[in-house]
Structure 1
Amino acid sequence: MAFYHTRSNSLPSRPHPLTSQINEHFSRLNASQATSSSSSSICHKLCCLQDLHDCVDKLILLPLTQKSLAQEQNEKWVDNVLDGSLGVLDVCSMARDALLQTKECAQELQSIMRRRRGNEIGFSGEIQTYSTSRKVVKKTIHKALRDLKDMGNKSSLSPFNKDHEAVAIVSMLKEVEAVTLIVLESLLTLISGGSKAQSKLSGWSLVSKLMHPKRIACEAEEAEVNEFEKLDSALHSLIYKKTSKSDNTVPVENVQHQLKEFDLCIQELEEGLESLYRRLIKTRVSLLNTFVN
């Protein structure tokens, strides 16, 4: 998304320890954008977001901040900030639902394969159920990703009055909203089975491919494949690979291995997302209390 900032340059001008802390969190998140799009990387970004929102919540509760934001002339900006925080909560909630739906289907498939001891053919129906659920999740995510572009376009606003303190605070809140949406976008892309590495590879020009065929092949091999892609691929191999019963043992074992890794991945993502969701609610309550009072 195009609205990411290197760090917040619009924090309140009056010195306060929270100012430097928030800038540090912005810098950490900016640095993490250059890393991989693996589940572990996204979990790290979710933790960074939690720390950022903790600091933001403390900043909102400062008497000076509340006084600046409570001015009547700031009403339009206040409404925009509140709408933005609600939009971020909706995206986060949708990501939680997508994770939960995928997790439940994967666990059901894993349970069935355990009962059959992984050595029988005939998982087509169960795999088809999982695949159907994944298609529904992916469709919902793709729509959400399109909506995120519109939300990103609304994330920056022009200064509204001469109250520099209020301008700085509201601009910072919009930057926090923007970076939170970016991390959630990465998470949704991960859940859908996509990856930034794939999009980068697909973007190479024909000339580059012709001039550097070995380089392209090497980067294609090194392109990171996340846990969602691995499981989808393993299930595809199991259901469509036409082999004998004895030869089918390897794909089944591969699926069982991927399911175990997938379960650990989902659990880690769920914990990070749930913690972030709680902090988003806390920040929104602080904003509502500030603006209403």
Structure 2
Amino acid sequence: MVGVFRRSISLPNKNLNRPTVKPAISHHIRSISLPCRSHPLISQIKEEINGLNAWASTSKSHPQTYTNISHGLTLLKDTHETFQHIFQLPQTQESLRCHPLWVENLLEDSLRFVDAYGTFQTLIMGLKEEHSSAQIAIRKRDESKLGMYMKSKKKFSKEMEKLVSSIRCGTQTQQQHQHLQMQVPAVSAAEALLSVADTAELGGVISDVMRVTVFVSVALFNGIAMSFAPRRFSWTQMVKLSRSSTRRMNVESEGLEELQLMEVEESFENLKKKGDEEVRLILKRMRDLEECVCGIESVSEKVFRALINSRVLLLNTLTLAQ
């Protein structure tokens, strides 16, 4: 009985030496330190990007409308707001601070978007002023003032085409930057906490956000440009226009359907000879056009603010990295 009792004394010695406690805690800490892969915001923004991709697919086979382009802009605004939340994650901040050149390239892309939407807001304000003057001219049956309105519309269309070019010209540079960004190796002790897969996933999300921003922006600017462009194209000009797009989707080669249906240029001819009922009809179509333009201005301004906020967060990240 004494021998059995002595063997029982050795049992606590096994419990005093447990090597499994610290590794379990260490593994738990590492799972927290991983950046974006398991974070719900990544899943959310991927769903939003998929929504924009579905919107793009629908736009390929259907005429672009005011309702459709407004929906695309709203989806883009929501995506950038989620993007901002991802930027504010400590894991994302740490990852971006380890790649300052990456952040600088993103800043260049964001500046291009902000400048384009800022210019668009200015152009829309000018168009609204010209449009209000045109309505006064219709009431007074002043055809000379309407001629000035037609010239302003043509100028507005050309300025919108410049915005399309400014967005498209940076696309190849952006893609080259992102290709290099994925090849940047880990160079700091802090980055050792971040897995290559997680950093690549973050880069993939950023790349997708930039891509859909380009697409929706081109759809908006080109749709507006085509809507206000002169309608009298020769057959040669139409063929050249279709070939220059290199099989671009319909959303990029057609104007907004509502703006086309509200076209009133032909109604301006011989305005003094028109009856009161005809003039009232023209004014109604002009008010409908103004309402459509104001709606686009409102939703695009929200995208503009979201782009500015994203850029501010990127600037803060770059400042902290220096």
**What is the one-letter code of the residue matched to 2:97?**
A
Which residue of 176, 179, 189 corresponds with 2:209?
Answer: 176
- Tell me what 2:64 maps to: 37
Identify the residue that residue 166 of structure 1 maps to in structure 2: 199
CA distance in 2, matches of 1:63, 1:173: 16
- What amino acid maps onto 2:91 in structure 1? L
Does residue 288 in structure 1 map to residue 315 in structure 2?
yes
- Rounded Cα–Cα distance in structure 2 between residues aligned with 1:227 and 1:106: 16
Deviations 1:162-199, CA, capped at 9 Å, x for gaps: 4523333234223212211211111112222349xx9x
**Unaligned 5+ residue runs, structure 1?**
1-11, 117-121, 204-222
Q: Deviations over 1:194-213 (max 9, x none)?
A: 49xx9xxx67xxxxxxxxxx
Gaps of 5+ in 2: 1-34, 187-195, 232-237, 240-253
Q: 1:250 to 1:32 in 2, by over 3 A?
A: farther
Aligned to 1:138: 157
| Alignment check: 8 A CA contact 2:121 2:297 kept | yes
Tell me, yes or no, if structure 1 residue 103 matches structure 2 residue 128. Answer: yes
CA deviation digits over 1:73-119, x for unaligned, max 9? x23222110100111101111221222111111122223434x4xxx
Q: Which consecutive segments of 4 or more residues in structure 1 shift more than 6 A?
A: none
2:174 partner SS: coil
Deviation at 1:51, TM superposition (A): 0.8
Q: Distance in 2 between matches of 1:31 and 1:89?
A: 25
Q: 1:84 to 1:225 in 2, by over 3 A?
A: closer
Q: Which amino acid aligns with 1:226?
A: E
Q: Is the 8 A contact 2:87 2:313 kept in 1?
A: yes
Q: Is residue 283 of structure 2 the alignment partner of residue 260 of structure 1?
A: no
Provide the rounded CA distance (Å) in 1 between the counterparts of 2:118 and 2:160: 12
Structure-1 separation of matches of 2:256 and 2:47: 30
Q: Matched residues in 1 for 2:47 and 2:74: separation?
A: 14
Structure 2 contact 36–202 (Cα < 8 Å) conserved: no
> 2:148 — aligned with what?
129
Q: Are the structure 2 counterparts of residues 56 and 100 from structure 1 closer, same or farther at C-alpha, using a change threshold of 3 Å?
A: same
The answer to whether residue 55 in structure 2 is matched with residue 22 in structure 1 is no
Match of 2:102 in 1: 77
Pair 1:237–1:283, CA change in 2 (3 A): same
- 1:60·1:66 contact (CA, 8 Å) conserved in 2? yes
CA distance in 2, matches of 1:57, 1:270: 23
Q: How many angstroms apart in 2 are the aligned matches of 1:16 and 1:188?
A: 34
Higher helix share: 2
With over 3 angstroms needed to count, the CA separation of the structure-2 counterparts of 1:270 and 1:84, relative to structure 1, is: same
Cα separation, partners in 2 of 1:250 and 1:151, compared to 1, 3 Å: farther
CA distance 1:139–1:225, shift in 2 (3 Å): closer
Q: Distance in 2 between matches of 1:91 and 1:175?
A: 19
1:127-180 per-residue CA deviation (whole Å, 9 max, x = no partner) reads 112111112211212222223221111222212224523333234223212211
Q: 1:123 to 1:135 in 2, by over 3 A?
A: same
Distance 1:230 1:141, change over 3 A: same
Contact 2:55 2:72 in 1 (8 A): yes
Partners of 2:296 and 2:271 lie apart in 1 by 35
For residue 239 of structure 1, what is the aligned residue in structure 2?
268
1:51 aligns with 2:78: yes
Once the two structures are TM-superposed, the CA of residue 249 in structure 1 deviates from its matched residue by 4.8
CA separation in 2, counterparts of 1:135 and 1:113?
19
Q: Is the alpha carbon distance of 1:25 and 1:177 closer, same or farther for their aligned partners in structure 2, counting shifts above 3 Å?
A: same
Q: Is the 8 A contact 1:66 1:290 kept in 2?
A: yes
Summarize the Cα distance change of 1:227–1:101 in structure 2 as closer, same or farther, 3 Å threshold: farther
Highest CA radius of gyration, 1 or 2?
2
Contact persistence 1:25–1:52 (CA under 8 A) = yes
Aligned sequence identity (%): 25
Conserved 8 A contact 1:138-1:192: yes
* Aligned position for 2:171: 152
SS at match of 2:37: coil
Structure 1 length normalisation: TM-score?
Answer: 0.76
Aligned pairs, how many?
246
